[in-house]
Homo-oligomer: A and B are copies of this chain.
Amino acid sequence: MSQDIPVTGYAILGLLTFGDELTGYEIKQRADITLRFYWVAPAMSQVYTELRRLTEHGLVRADARAEGGREVTSYAITGAGQAALRDWMEGTPAGFPVLKHTVLLRLLIGHATEPGTTRRMLDDYLDELDRARADLAAVREALRGADRPGEPFRFPSMVADWGLDYFAAETRHARRALASLDETGPRDDDAAD
């Protein structure tokens, strides 16, 4: 049933389960505000590639219409698509999240550079975290009113709350790391060792 579709394909399929018919362009936009936090923000070209594959497998239906002078194609999930998605969700082992955390990677080898570099990196990270937090918080707010059990945005809301807590935790960790860096003293030439 569900063969040869990469996870991003299922992610796109998932975006199409919220009711609307979407163009590739719109899927990219939705991905940028949702998937981006937990999976990836796929490139436009990747979205189109994936949509073609899904169409070939019969998991989505392409609905091409002429809108003014240009061809616009919307995509809707098919019955087979919903079945494939369900199969995937039931039949795939949880799989541990993969974290590509450049900040932690660079903190790990912090001894290979000056403390100031590491501090600057952590400060930058705090800024970016705050931006991400604000973006996600806006998304979360937009879901209010339809986030109770049985309502359409229940699961997206749960995920958004999870993500907001995650960002909050990351902020705490980065602050703690900064504080720990200061333990040596702002200029680290006396108390070391």
Contact = CB atoms under 8 A, between A and B. Distances in A.
**What band does the interface of chain A fall in when counting residues whose beta carbon is under 8 Å from B?**
35 or more
A90 interface: yes
A145 interface: no
A85 interface: yes
A172 B161 CA distance: 12
Q: How many copies does the complex hold?
A: 2
A124 interface: yes
Nearest to A96: B128
A143 B192 CA distance: 18
Contact of A169 (B89, B149, B169): B169
Contact of A14 (B10, B105, B173): B105
Interface of A: 7, 10-11, 14, 17, 34-35, 37-40, 82, 85-86, 89-90, 92-113, 117-118, 121, 124-125, 128, 132, 148-152, 154-156, 158-159, 162-163, 165-166, 169, 172-173, 176-177, 180, 183-184, 188, 191-193
